[in-house]
Structure 1
Amino acid sequence: MGGYFAYRGMAPFGNSSILTVDLGQQYVDFFAYFRSTLLHHFDTFFYSFSKDLGGDMIGIFAYYLMSPLNLLILFFPGKSLTSGILILLILKYGLSGLSFAWLLTKTKLQKGIRVLGFSTAYALMGWMIANQLNVIWLDVLILLPLVVWGLIKLVNENKPWTYIIWFTVLLIDNYYMAWMVALFTIMFMIWQLSSQHYGWHTSWHRFLKYIGSSILSALLASFLLIPTFYSLTQTKGTYTQQSVHFKFEYFPFKMLGKLMPGSFNFDQMPDGEPNIFIGTLLTIAFVLYLFDRRHSIKNRIISSLLTIFFLFSLCFEPLDLLWHAGQFPVWYPYRFSFLMSFWMLWLAAHTLTPDFHVTWRQLIPIVTVITGIYVYLGLNLSSFTYLTWGQLLISIGMCVVGLIWLTIPRYHAPILYDLVFFLLVGSEVVTNAYTSLNNISYVTQSDFGNYTTQLNKTVKTIQKKDTGFYRIGQTFMRTKDDPMQADYNGGSHFGSTLEPSIPSFMGSIGQPDGDGFVTYTNGTQVSDSLLNMRYFMASQPTQSIIGGRATSSILPAVSTKPDLSRQKAVSSDSLTKTTKNNNALAIAFGASDKITSLNSKTSDPVARQSKIYQTLANDKSTSSLFEVQNFDHVTFDNVQSASKITGTIFTKQNLIKNAEVKMTFTPKTNESYYLTFGSSLDADSGSYYLNGKKLSQYPTFRNTVVINVASNQKGEPVTLTFKLKRQTLWMQNVSLYKLNQKHFNRLNTTLKSESLHVTSHSNTRINGTVKINKNHQVLMTTIPYSAGWHAKVDGKPVATKKAIKTFLAIPISKGNHHVQLTYRPPYLITGISVTLVSILGIAGYQFNKHRKQNKRRF
């Protein structure tokens, strides 16, 4: 695999990188966050303000970052992080093969060169190749053989500690993969007991010891599992499937395509069949186990029933949900299929012993079935997007050689026989890896490295000038986890442990959002002020001219923000310009207690922003901060005319000609103007232009967003052009608004007058002083509400409240106060206590057992 990565020129071997899909859009930023946590501020293990507006981090660590192998990342800062990830990935490939080889050797199932054949097939199984970008899951292939060895020792020798230790390690390393392995251990225990000649009493005793050992493992890992479980109930667990359909998710025979080399491409990532490729010869050997009379009929029946259960799990919805803990995967389906591959390899290893071979007569039914499979695949090749005739012919060739190999007795030339086995198996899995990974595109090293270097540089410049507590906005973005990459407080995040209240709030004020992400790219003066966005980073115009052509910036624009012209520039270089927003409120400020009962149901994001801001300031005015504006002039090209823009569905009159709607207005003041933009106006439906230039806008949004289209542009005509990409275009929620600047400035002054003066801060503790001028106030924060936050006012604990169904608010009286906010992950102390009690219980049990043994000895 190292050779393949070097061949592809992946860093450090060239200008490509290993980054693709989630590895490039999410995990690489989490690894940067991992480095900053361990090297700079360990408190972000518990909580971080670089996760959207702030959030619990134990869930992220438990799911993404608990692998001890991640310590390797500490040696790769900045743009070299991609090289560290590549080395980490190669290490996981190698350790996976080593672990399986160790298991085969310890159980004496295989030895010599044959072990290399099986271990190579294990390390390069189809699941591993398809999911190498999900590097966070790969430790399970290293730990699974060790857990299985523990089960074998428990059954054969009545010794549970090997299983307890390794299953505990797996629970800590990645609880998600551990859940799948936990289900598999039940199956494996049944199989292992069926292969022994124990009576019912002994078998039942061993099984109960297995149950007790599994529970003990969970207790030992409780320091992490209990607070993580609570975190899940507040985040990912809220999306658990409520209804189950008893149906097949696809035609089961489509799984046969996954037995061919190269059976993976990009289309398989969001919605494909399970990746169960292990090689043709080993697949045949797995099936032959079920008919091998060297094993007891009871064991073969149990093996067949477990295999049927596995196959149904890979295509039947209720069982699929069981393996995924009640949630359908978002991309990367059938994540547990590595267990099917292990099962197949395990039984194949029991079949292909040195004394095994197939007679020519036994070969007839095998050849008949295999021929049927190839005929089916050939006749339906067009329905398998990842298969070609070339792949099919390679598989047929491998199959023919493998069948011939099976019929030849080993004793004629054992070393050559085993070498052919290794070469046959190895060449097929290598072919699969090469073909599958060539179907995927990757981020170039320069795209990642140049962007990351500039982002870090700009952020550090801001942080050197201002050591206070604030958030930073940006008009460019590589990923939604940029704040984690560069270690700053932002407003965007993409991750499985996102609290649902955050996308709900962000979507309601006009920001792009989804179940697993928020993107703060569409701020208004009001939302920027409310959310403590004190600084903004913007990309400079096109940087240079190469060969007579203007090059694009290395900083991809995702926001149009003329409002920045109202802010003071504080630093700049050839790529970025940073401005300071003097209207930004503090992280906490005195506000009307009416905010705790505000229940605005409007779907208009600007009305929602106005209502929140006015309520906070206890504004008596009945007029909104935003006023509806009309367009001065609208032209229609190749679509019908309309007197009203918003809500109209425009239709092309001539399908082969371009069609557009052009709207123009001239600002009568220097105030800010905003356009609301419904979710139907996505990038697939149309192209959108502001004054002839492509409108910069983050492309994915499910609610109406707010776009800043003018500011400080009195008397300058502004033109918005909507070009149809399809036959129709629904102008959903297209409305123009003007911010009443005087009204906003008055409310902003009121709210800033009672700001919390932060005297010290970290990610888990904020201290400060505040002067509250009125009664019936709360100390309003823009810290997302969590049971983990505890407040003290003048040294006395105060019960916190939730405001706007999102934020932390603290009841407070008129006068001068010292405020302390502290975060402690809910149930962390409980989890640590359970782990410590479990350890002490084990130590006491072992001590007592040892003492009794010594007494018997004397």
Structure 2
Amino acid sequence: MNFSFEKRDHRMLYLKYTVMFALIALCMFGSYAITGHTLIWNKDALNQHVPLLGEYRKVVLGWLHHPTRPLNWWSWNMGLGTDTFQVFSYYTIGDVFAYLALLFPAAKLTLAYQVITVVRTYFVGLTFCWFAGHFSFRDHVILGGAIVYMVNSYLLYASIAQPFFMTTFILFPILVVQLERVLQNGSAWPLTLAFLWMLVNNYYLAYVLGIGTFIYLVLRVATHYRTTLSYGKALAKLAFAAITSILVAACLLVPEIMAVMNSTRAGSEFANGLKHYPLYYYLFLPKQLINGDQWTFMFWSALGLVSIAFIAIVYLYTRTREFPLLSISLALALVMLLIPAVGAFFNGMMAASNRWTLLIYLPIAMTVCLLLQNATRLDRHTLWILTSATGIYLVVLVATYIFQNDTTMFMPIIFLIMSLLMLWIINLHGTPHPDRWLVTIILANAACNALYVGTPYNGNFANSTLVRGQYQSIAENRYGSLEKGLNDGSFFRVSTISNNQITSGGLLDNDLTSGMHNIDSYYSLQNKYLGQFSTSLQNTQYQANVPLRQVDDRTVLNNFFGVKYLFVQSNSENANKIPGGYFLDATTEPKINYDVGQPTNPTDQTQLVPTTTNRYRTNNAFPLLYWQDSYISQKTYQKLSPTAKERALASGVTVSSKNSGATNGMKTANLKGNVIKLKSQLVSNRLNKIKSTGLKYTDSLETYQLQLPQLTSKAFKKQLKDSELHVEFASIKYQPFSMKQQIAYEQKHEEQQSTNPGDIVNYRFNQYKFWRYHILNGSPDMSFAIKISSRLGSETIEQPKQSKLSFFKLVKNGTMNIGYFAKGMPTSLTFKPSKLGTYQWQYQVVAEKLGTKYNQEVRQIQKHALKNVKFKRNQLSGTISTSRVGILTSSIPYSTGWTATVDGKKTTLLRTNQAFVGLRLPAGTHRVVLRYHVPGLALGCKISLFGLIWMLLAAVASWLIKRHNANKASA
């Protein structure tokens, strides 16, 4: 199987493909339209892709209208504030398809997004047709391969959830073709441009594609060019293409690499600690190959191809000597799929995410093309091998069905049998146009897979997409319209309550549509210092992608971040868990749901509970920048508990150890009385007192009370009025029981439940039932959850499963905010672990005092706010008068991109309170200016300019050499 670069007329092929794509697109996307859904997922697309596309569209149009005006690279609307260049470079800047949004008006943003998704999908299949056109395949053979390449679980999911991942399916065939051109002693320029597109498209995907291209290069040389390749010339061309593309793309790459190195991603747990995958992964991996209906991925091992792919792979291994590259590639891919470290390596040394499988769809599609090309020439021996292998595979699939009860395997099995029967019919009896019959089966198989995923009553993926008009409705009613009229010119931030959903249809983190400064943000790259701050204060909501969320509704943290308003849905979770100092400011028109959340037997309309969206306001929000003259040394700060660290934000400022001299001349902060430790006792409903050091949890129905005996005293309770109650876990260790132990305890529980006369426990069935449950759920595993509830709401510390990939974190501690109690603190709390096993912990219950002392400290902070604050592009300025030396601190995330001047003179920027911008101020009246530049952008642009000059000179030299050789040949 050899590449050919002879020019061929493929216009008819592309026309046939376009007609075929119309049918496929109807199945892939038409069902969403028919059922009133859109192609906008209620998670990443809602939070990231659509709003960022709209924001970037504004940036580009603004630049086109005012090309001399500097671009604004700092946004106050992305969480606490972030570098928009870093965000846009990951999602939109290098995405060529994103620029199609410029053709649509702003009001049609969601339409533009969906059209771009369809166009992107079209180019996936078109690129494969172009790629396969370099071989001597018949048109229908290529079309069959294009269907396989375009319709699979990975792309069916990515087209809705992660659309920019689809571009890799376009890029990889281009990279392979241009690499092949170089190996055949062709020009390096097409490969240079392909590398350049790869690098600017997305650095993460470039990393995956780069490794994949290198693997292809090694295997191709080893299997085909080993003895014929001119190694010197080839290496020179490859080096030229790689170096030139890297130089030209440096304006994006340098800032991106610096952003990654300074993000919460750096230093994450390799492969989430996995040495091997859970047992269910290996059991169900075989069915993943043809389970095209499946979109719930196991570690992103999606596969999900049309059923004939299995037969094609078996056929390939009857011809390994003819097709060594494909044979080795797929065998290597199988081995790689079995090892978590491989997924982690391809995922930037982080979670064991097998997104790299995007690379194997090309060789599989080519394998299907080989089968189709030779379908009429299969001998009996080969047919019986295909039949025997299919029979064995069917046994595996049926066993999987029996064990998992996976009804989605029905259609793939039908098409698997149909494909095999058609191959027998073609070779035994002969049929006119065999290619068309096989392609028809492939098309029908792909259509069924696509329809299953896209219909809301089957695969349920469509239920995870927004309905028509919902994005606009959410954007307009992000806070029940209670945000209207709040922009009075002052700077403040807003938030919601943890797990409290104001709008239905998706979990909202980012807010790029209301104009409010919400502290919550969800992006792939987040400021590492913000992550360190959140983990140091043991914010249980922290995730690498979402460093703050609602900071667990902690009062001081909300105040510190300048959260002036909280928006709360009255019928949603934790609606009563309002931080201290926040009072009801406004509410929406009440609505009554007569069927949910109402008294059992109401007798009067006034007894019914209405549903409203409420806005709470506080007068205790800290200014964005403020002066403090009290400091906390690093040594003292490190000894504080998480609650004490939080409370200390109002008492004084701490600076990083390398800037400790900045506190010279300042007074030591008074931390006395900020936090009070409470006695506690854990008691089960079996009337057992649990040791404070841990718990052996053997019965899932056993519940516990965390009793606080001191609060039975009215005098002590009065002492703790205006306090927030926290449970601080300094350490948590969880050891799951072995499978045998789990089942034994569950059997024992069944015995205890058999209390009626004549009850019989079916031990044999229970043994299988429990064993099956644990296999399907991947247990025993390290995940667990501890939930504590009060009358105000619930709080949970959760150790995610290792299969959570990007949302995995090692949970070794955590501080749970039970809520703010103005007067009556509870005497006990409900305590519930999630899983059987042995828990070891060190914890304490503390009350964070928010009374007179705190209020005085807040008033001092507000009094010393930076005045006359003005915001410009990449700049913030203001004035302040100080009576003595102190630190101007802030809640602006620290970055090396910030520089500061005081009275026109450059001053050293400090990292205060672990994560925020600050600077030392002497006594007097000062004008302070903070300016932001993208770290690494200037250096990257200089390198790119050099790269462009180098590329231009190389192009001129190449043209002159080519012209010289042409003249020499003609002479």
Distance 1:853 1:74 in 2: 39
1:501 corresponding residue in structure 2:
529
- Do structure 1's residue 432 and structure 2's residue 449 form an aligned pair? yes
- Do structure 1's residue 784 and structure 2's residue 899 form an aligned pair? no
CA contact (8 A) 1:537 1:576 kept: no
Alpha carbons of structure 1 residues 366 and 247: separation in structure 2 relative to 1, 3 Å: farther
Counterpart of 2:346, as a letter, is: W
Aligned-pair identity in percent equals: 15
Alpha carbons of structure 1 residues 772 and 219: separation in structure 2 relative to 1, 3 Å: same
SS at match of 2:930: strand
SS at match of 1:481: coil
Q: 2:559 pairs with 524, 529, 533, which one?
A: 529
Q: 1:819 pairs with 913, 918, 928, which one?
A: 928
- Do structure 1's residue 625 and structure 2's residue 654 form an aligned pair? no
Alpha carbons of structure 1 residues 256 and 79: separation in structure 2 relative to 1, 3 Å: farther
- Do structure 1's residue 802 and structure 2's residue 824 form an aligned pair? no
TM-score, structure 1 length as denominator? Answer: 0.83
1:468 Cα deviation after fit:
3.1
CA contact (8 A) 1:469 1:761 kept: no
1:751 Cα deviation after fit:
2.5
2:213 corresponding residue in structure 1:
185
Moved more, 393-402 or 178-187: 393-402
Counterpart of 1:305, as a letter, is: I
Distance 1:780 1:596 in 2: 15
1:229 corresponding residue in structure 2:
257
CA deviation vs aligned residue, 1:708-736 (integer Å, no higher than 9, x gap): 3323xx5x686765265769999974635
Counterpart of 2:152, as a letter, is: M
CA-based RMSD of the aligned residues comes to 4.3
Alpha carbons of structure 1 residues 558 and 235: separation in structure 2 relative to 1, 3 Å: farther
Counterpart of 1:276, as a letter, is: L
Q: 1:142 pairs with 142, 146, 170, which one?
A: 170
CA deviation vs aligned residue, 1:446-477 (integer Å, no higher than 9, x gap): 876544321267475255x3223332222345
Counterpart of 1:336, as a letter, is: W
CA deviation vs aligned residue, 1:732-790 (integer Å, no higher than 9, x gap): 74635252522122222332333212432147311111212212x22212222211111
1:453 corresponding residue in structure 2:
476
CA contact (8 A) 2:787 2:833 kept: yes
1:205 corresponding residue in structure 2:
233
CA contact (8 A) 2:899 2:932 kept: yes
CA contact (8 A) 1:560 1:697 kept: no
Alpha carbons of structure 1 residues 22 and 355: separation in structure 2 relative to 1, 3 Å: closer
CA contact (8 A) 2:317 2:327 kept: yes
CA contact (8 A) 1:291 1:300 kept: no
1:362 corresponding residue in structure 2:
382
- Do structure 1's residue 325 and structure 2's residue 348 form an aligned pair? yes
- Correspondences of 1:393-412 after superposition (within 5 Å): 393-404=413-424, 407=427
CA contact (8 A) 2:28 2:451 kept: no
Q: 2:724 pairs with 668, 671, 674, which one?
A: 674
Alpha carbons of structure 1 residues 829 and 508: separation in structure 2 relative to 1, 3 Å: same
Distance 1:501 1:30 in 2: 24
- Do structure 1's residue 309 and structure 2's residue 332 form an aligned pair? yes
Distance 1:628 1:237 in 2: 35
1:131 corresponding residue in structure 2:
158
- Do structure 1's residue 609 and structure 2's residue 646 form an aligned pair? yes
TM-score, structure 2 length as denominator? Answer: 0.74
CA contact (8 A) 2:152 2:304 kept: yes
SS at match of 1:735: strand
CA contact (8 A) 1:32 1:484 kept: no
Alpha carbons of structure 1 residues 5 and 453: separation in structure 2 relative to 1, 3 Å: farther
Distance 1:461 1:398 in 2: 60
1:686 Cα deviation after fit:
4.7
CA contact (8 A) 2:375 2:426 kept: no
2:354 corresponding residue in structure 1:
334
- Correspondences of 1:258-657 after superposition (within 5 Å): 258-262=288-292, 264-266=294-296, 268-269=297-298, 271=299, 274-289=301-316, 291-292=318-319, 297=321, 300-329=323-352, 333-350=353-370, 352-353=372-373, 357-382=377-402, 386=406, 390-391=410-411, 393-404=413-424, 407=427, 413=432, 416-435=433-452, 438-441=458-461, 442-443=463-464, 444-445=466-467, 450-455=473-478, 458=481, 461-462=484-485, 465-475=487-497, 476-477=500-501, 479=507, 481-484=509-512, 486-509=514-537, 511=539, 512-517=541-546, 518-533=548-563, 535-539=564-568, 541=570, 552=571, 560-561=577-578, 563-566=580-583, 569=585, 575-592=612-629, 594-595=631-632, 597=634, 600-602=637-639, 604-616=641-653, 618=667, 621=670, 623-628=672-677, 638-640=685-687
CA contact (8 A) 1:522 1:707 kept: no
Alpha carbons of structure 1 residues 127 and 727: separation in structure 2 relative to 1, 3 Å: closer
2:145 corresponding residue in structure 1:
118
Distance 2:90 2:45 in 1: 14
Distance 1:245 1:718 in 2: 39
1:761 corresponding residue in structure 2:
871
Q: 2:859 pairs with 749, 758, 762, which one?
A: 749
Distance 2:55 2:359 in 1: 31
Counterpart of 1:504, as a letter, is: Q
Structure 1 gaps of 5+ residues are 542-551
Alpha carbons of structure 1 residues 128 and 509: separation in structure 2 relative to 1, 3 Å: same
CA contact (8 A) 1:245 1:318 kept: no
1:704 Cα deviation after fit:
0.6
Distance 1:462 1:733 in 2: 45
Alpha carbons of structure 1 residues 793 and 725: separation in structure 2 relative to 1, 3 Å: closer
Counterpart of 2:866, as a letter, is: L
CA contact (8 A) 2:415 2:441 kept: no
1:160 corresponding residue in structure 2:
188
Distance 2:626 2:425 in 1: 77
Query: Matched residue pairs, number?
Result: 818
1:248 Cα deviation after fit:
5.4
CA deviation vs aligned residue, 1:328-377 (integer Å, no higher than 9, x gap): 24xxx311112112112224435543786212233222322332222233
Moved more, 225-234 or 577-586: 577-586
CA contact (8 A) 1:259 1:276 kept: yes
1:595 Cα deviation after fit:
4.8
CA deviation vs aligned residue, 1:522-559 (integer Å, no higher than 9, x gap): 344433332222x2132364xxxxxxxxxx46xx6577
CA contact (8 A) 2:866 2:880 kept: yes
Moved more, 509-518 or 22-31: 22-31
SS at match of 1:52: coil
SS at match of 1:779: strand
Distance 2:685 2:959 in 1: 90
1:810 Cα deviation after fit:
1.2
Distance 2:356 2:928 in 1: 48
Distance 2:362 2:55 in 1: 33
1:549 corresponding residue in structure 2:
none
Distance 1:650 1:564 in 2: 40
SS at match of 2:386: helix
CA contact (8 A) 1:312 1:319 kept: no
Alpha carbons of structure 1 residues 204 and 526: separation in structure 2 relative to 1, 3 Å: same
Distance 2:403 2:183 in 1: 45
1:496 Cα deviation after fit:
2.6
1:265 Cα deviation after fit:
4.5
1:612 Cα deviation after fit:
3.4
